[in-house]
């Protein structure tokens, strides 16, 4: 496998740099040196040129390191700790995104070998829809993708209860509301929330474009 140029591994590498940016100065993480250990592990994976089976032990070690980050930040309440340190909601959302990318790299490497699968693409069930308070043409959706995320969308006709394809992307702030993903279309999907939907070529292209933009 050309691991040095694999988009899934390159996205993970970018996430390591962003983790350093957002939480690299936190004392507990610097003391444990865990972010540097994650960076080293990603480099080991990137330049291993191994098949998936050979990479499996390294990927398991990466998952343990991600758990160490959460433990160093206070366990299940780690987001509360970051909030108490006046770290912004957008920055916390980026850390969530990066931890998910790194922890689930093992899963993504088993998916089809296309750039769009460098991020999670899931069936999302819309739990609620509200108007954006500061943008007339935007809607704020709480979406169940196996966990609840916020998606800000310009699809005006979205409705509660619909199941749509969602790409979990690097968070973006739209007029003070953080969006954690993007609907790839307004095409209804069959399946349980959180599962991988069957995608059209246009849906795949939309996700691929976002991945490649992140890697620029």
Rg (CA), the chain: 18
The CATH code of the domain that includes 177 is 2.40.50.140
Candidates 95, 108, 96, 112; CA nearest to 45 is 108
Q: End-to-end CA distance of the chain: give it in Å, rounded.
A: 22
Are residues 50 and 138 both part of a single domain?
Answer: no
d(CA 193, CA 195): 6
Residues 101 and 12 in one domain: yes
Q: Are 54 and 94 contained in the same domain? A: yes
The pLDDT assigned to 31 comes to 87
Task: Provide DSSP, the chain.
Answer: --GGG-HHHHHHHHHHHHHHHHHTT-HHHHHHTHHHHHHHHHHHHHTT---HHHHHHHHHHHHHHHHHHHHHTTGGGHHHHHHHTT--HHHHHHHHHHHHHHHTHHHHTTS-SSGGGGS-EEEEEEEEEEE-TT-TT-EEEEEESSSEEEEEE--TT--TT-EEEEEEEEEEEETTEEEEEEES-S----S-TTSPPP--HHHHHHHHHHHHHHT-
Where among 110, 130, 165 does a domain terminate?
A: 110
Q: Which domain covers residue 148, as residue numbers?
A: 117-214
Identify whether residues 131 and 105 lie together within a single domain.
Answer: no
| Count of domains for the chain | 2
**Of 153, 212, 209, 203, which is closest to residue 179 (Cα–Cα)?**
153
**Average pLDDT of each block of 10 consecutive residues along the chain (216 residues)?**
96 97 93 94 97 96 97 92 94 97 97 96 98 95 98 96 98 97 97 97 98 96
Judge if 59 and 134 occupy the same domain. no
Q: What is the pLDDT of residues 9-24, one digit of tens each?
A: 999 999 999 999 999 9
Same domain, 167 and 72: no
Q: What is the pTM of this model?
A: 0.95
Domain boundary among 90, 110, 130: 110
Q: pLDDT of 82-106, one tens digit each? A: 999 999 999 999 999 999 999 999 9
């Amino acid at each position: 496998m050309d691991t040095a140029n694999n988009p899934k591994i390159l996205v993970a590498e970018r996430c390591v740099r962003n983790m350093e940016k957002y939480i690299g100065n936190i004392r507990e993480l610097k003391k444990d040196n865990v972010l540097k250990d994650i960076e080293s592990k990603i480099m080991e994976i990137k330049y291993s040129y191994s098949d998936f089976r050979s990479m499996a032990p390294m990927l398991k070690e990466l998952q343990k390191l991600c758990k160490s980050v959460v433990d160093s930040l206070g366990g299940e309440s780690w987001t509360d700790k970051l909030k108490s340190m006046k770290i912004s909601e957008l920055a916390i959302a980026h850390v969530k995104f990066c931890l998910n990318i790194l922890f689930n790299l093992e899963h993504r490497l088993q998916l089809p070998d296309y750039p769009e699968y460098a991020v999670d693409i899931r069936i999302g069930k819309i739990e609620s829809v509200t108007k954006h308070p500061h943008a007339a043409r935007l809607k704020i959706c709480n979406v169940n993708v196996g966990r609840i995320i916020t998606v800000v969308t310009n699809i005006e006709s979205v409705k509660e209860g619909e199941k749509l394809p969602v790409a979990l992307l690097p968070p973006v702030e739209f007029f003070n509301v953080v969006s954690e993903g993007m609907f790839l279309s307004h095409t209804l999907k069959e399946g349980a929330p959180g599962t991988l939907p069957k995608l059209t070529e246009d849906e795949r292209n939309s996700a691929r474009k976002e991945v490649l933009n992140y890697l620029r």
